[in-house]
Chain A
Amino acid sequence: MKFTIKMWRQEGPEIPGSFVEYSIDNVLPEMSFLEMLDNLNEEIIGRGEEPVAFDSDCREGICGMCGLVINGMAHGPKRACTTCELRMREFPDGAVITVEPFRAKGFPVIKDLVVDRGAFDRIIAAGGYVSVNTGSAPDGNAIPISKDIAEKAMDAAACIGCGACVAACPNASASLFTSAKISQLALLPQGHAERKQRALRMVEQMDREVFGNCSNHAECEAACPKSISIDNIARMRREYMKAMR
């Protein structure tokens, strides 16, 4: 397969970037998007130019490092899929593909397609943990938790913190991420002791990081590689309102 890539190039944080067009040939349909970029980088290096900087680590959809906006969609056109798992067969042969970094004030560009997602770490540090001693691993059924609740907590805990929710949100809101992290703990007994301060502090930190407000567009859920539901955002708001009193 053959593609034209309109690639965002930006030398550094405060340096204005622009699109550069590259053509790439001999792409196999089963290649991942990142393998295609690797091959392109080989060619770029061969020409003695600076390769395109992008993030990745596990390349199997579990670490949350990768993340590009491809044709205007975070992680590309396929739902429930990370950029590293996206295959080139999703694109028609000869297509022009636009590649941009996640764009948000809270995610400043470091270089080319690499952004600083440290804001997410600071939101977690503000309250996304259980600091009371919960003892050693309890017996299998010592703490009864219904299947329904366990499933909801697990679904929220599937968040890999990639930031696609922020990238896809028309408002650049971090509500889906923050709400998933609040939910996974608020749903389980171990998280109950600190649920009020957790909700207040994590929302406060989210606001401090200059993310936008949530207008309930639900585009985050569509972009999330783990299909995390905006029901978590509803839960975050309930948790927050309970904590306000």
Chain B
Amino acid sequence: MNQNKPLRSTVGKKVIMAVSGIFLMLFLIVHLGGNLTMFAGSDLFNSYAHHLEGLGPLLWVAEAGLLAIFLFHVISAFQVVAEKKRARTDRYAVTASKGGPSKVTAASKSMIYTGIILLLFIPAHIWMFKFNGGEPHPVTEVHGTEMKDLYASVAEAFANPVVAFGYAAVMFLLGMHLRHGFWSSLQSLGAMAPKCSPLIYTVGFIFALLLAGGFLVLPLYFYFTQIGGAA
């Protein structure tokens, strides 16, 4: 059966989850790096985005690749959850963790829920910023070059408390996804030696904190610096 299709096995599916998850995390690191240029002012961020768009076909290929990786991750996620549902149809009346080496946490138990929130969030996020909600982008000039003023769009969006705090909340959930996901992806690939497993679990926590924290401060920064209309 799956001897001919090893990627369809439980182990194979987790390899797909892990590899796609790692690529998504790498993408998020680059994405965050770009976002943080906003703290260095609007010009740097706008020209960074401008250069990125200037890559043209190269960018489209990267975007298509990212979409494919994302879809692999999402499809395998729903398969894993379906397998889990099928494997225990009669539920326990009482469940409790035995603690100790157990890594059952709110994060590990809610992977599919934090995942689904991300699945709903990401298209909305792309629509909001990449397509500016369907409106033409505001335009600015940096060192004599005319370009989209994405900084202004971001600042405007996060002046709205619902948007700013909504974003911050989703980024917190992303942090939870990565709190279990970072370590889990390495374990899924068997890239774990007994001695470093506790270390990697801790590194996973710090990674989740830094990455989600980095994304989380931006909307709050823009909201709080613009209270009362000051940009």
A interface with B by C-beta (< 8 Å): 6, 8, 19, 69, 71-74, 77, 79, 98, 100, 103-106, 109, 168, 170-173, 175, 200-201, 203-204, 206-208, 210-219, 221-223, 227, 229-231, 233-238, 240-241, 243-244
Contacts and interface: CB of A to CB of B under 8 A. Distances in A.
A214 B189 CA distance: 12
Contacts of A211: 10, 87
A235 B2 CA distance: 20
Given A72-B92, A207-B9, A213-B10, A79 B188 contact: no
Contacts of A168: 98
Given A210-B86, A233-B187, A234-B192, A200 B98 contact: no
Contacts of A105: 86-89
A240 B187 CA distance: 14
Contacts of B180: 216
Interface residues of B, number: 50
A73 B98 contact: yes
A101 B179 CA distance: 32
A206 B99 contact: no
A200 B8 CA distance: 12
Contact of B96 (A72, A109, A229): A72
Contact of B84 (A200, A206, A212, A218): A212
B228 interface: no
Interface string B190-219: 111110010000000000000000000000
B122 interface: no
Contacts of A238: 190
A241 B6 CA distance: 9
B86 A217 contact: no
A213 B197 contact: no
Given A77-B98, A215-B80, A223-B98, A244 B87 contact: no
Contacts of B96: 71-73, 77
Interface of B: 1-3, 6-7, 9-15, 79-80, 83-84, 86-104, 108-109, 111, 180, 183-184, 187-194, 197
B162 to A, nearest CB: 33
A244 B6 contact: yes
B98 A172 contact: no
Contacts of B109: 170, 217
B9 A203 contact: yes
The SS class assigned to the A binding surface is mixed
Contacts of A19: 93
A97 to B, nearest CB: 10
A213 B99 CA distance: 21
Nearest to B101: A221
B95 A214 contact: no
B194 A229 contact: yes
Contacts of B2: 203-204, 207
Nearest 3 interchain pairs by C-beta: A212-B87, A72-B94, A238-B190
A213 B14 contact: yes
Contacts of B15: 237, 241
Given A19-B93, A210-B87, A216 B188 contact: yes
A214 B17 CA distance: 11
A231 to B, nearest CB: 4
Nearest to A197: B3
B83 A219 contact: no
A6 B92 CA distance: 13
B14 to A, nearest CB: 6
A201 B3 CA distance: 7
A151 to B, nearest CB: 11
Given A211-B87, A221-B102, A237 B188 contact: yes
Nearest to B76: A213
